[in-house]
Amino acid sequence: MNARMFLACLAIVVPVTPALAHAFLQHASPGAGAVLANPPKEIVLEFSESLEPTFSGIAVSDAAGHDVAAAHAVITGGSMHVALNSLAAGSYRVAWRAVSVDTHRTEGAYSFTVKP
Amino acid sequence: MRYLRPFALTATVGYAVPGASDASRSVEWAGALEYSLLYLQNNVQDQGFSNFIAHLTPIVEFSFSSPVDAGGTIGTFNPGLIWSGQHEQVAVEAILPVNHATGDNVGVIAQLHFYIDDLFPHTLGTSIFGGKP
């Protein structure tokens, strides 16, 4: 069987369905390692795929591990954002988990700093 | 130090027993050292990379064979670059022999991988037995 015939057979046996994938983080604000003069009011994360809100979320904590989010994360399509309490100077950690609508799971974490 | 975090090292070691009696047994050892720009961008320090650049991974693969009975080690270093997308991966690597016993020519290898389970999640990407994902 030559390559052309193999591809033709594959096209017959595999029905076309929408392609799905892992949700990769494409943009974060503030970004990883950012050093900010003014404390951010929210964390915004943009992903490459639409997210399943029930299983996706963001946790933001200070250096002591205390939660500094002012509310639950709001998830719309492929974006997540969470409002923050008024942040003092210091280092903060953002931990996110994203489950795309086809149930692939990704997660990550990064830090940013608010200058005194 | 934090800029070392995107490094990943994988390795494998095996013992090869050939079927032919006149061939030497050998220790096969190989691995890869990678540096994920995506991890650097998203987890260590935002570099402002474009989406294309962020999905690049510089890599050095190595593959060696060390005969147990006779002969010296042969193998190659393969420095290259991988681009990982949502549904496919493209890689280009040079093939550099480590010594004259391996060879004197430099080669190149290019690979194109498709993520079949992502491209066809409800057919080839689903369980053979059991329910739908």
- Indicate yes or no: pTM above 0.90: no
* Confidence check: pLDDT of B21 > 80: no
Q: Residue B38: is its pLDDT beyond 60?
A: yes
Tell me the pLDDT tens digit for each residue of B100-122: 999 999 999 999 999 887 788 77
The contacts of residue A23 (CB under 8 Å, 6+ apart) are A47, A48, A49, A50, A51, A78, A98, A99, A100, A104, A106
Better pLDDT: A10 or A89 = A89
Residue of B nearest to A20 (CA): B118
Q: Enumerate the β-bridge partners of residue A27.
A: A46
User: Chain B contacts of A11, Cβ < 8 Å?
Assistant: none
**Matching residue, tokens 């493209």:** B90
Going by pLDDT thresholds of 50, 70 and 90, the confidence category of residue B22 is confident
Tell me the pLDDT of chain B averaged across its residues.
91
Check pLDDT > 70 for residue B53.
yes
Model pLDDT, residue A16: 46
Q: Which of A17, A48, A108 sits opposite B123 (nearest CB)?
A: A17
pLDDT at A103: 78
Range in A46-50, A80-84, B17-21, B39-43 with the lowest mean pLDDT: B17-21
Interface test with B, best of A110, A111, A112 (most B CBs within 10 A): A110
Count of other CB atoms within 10 angstroms of residue A94: 22
Q: Examine the predicted complex and report whether its ipTM is higher than 0.85.
A: no
Predicted local confidence at residue A15, as pLDDT: 47
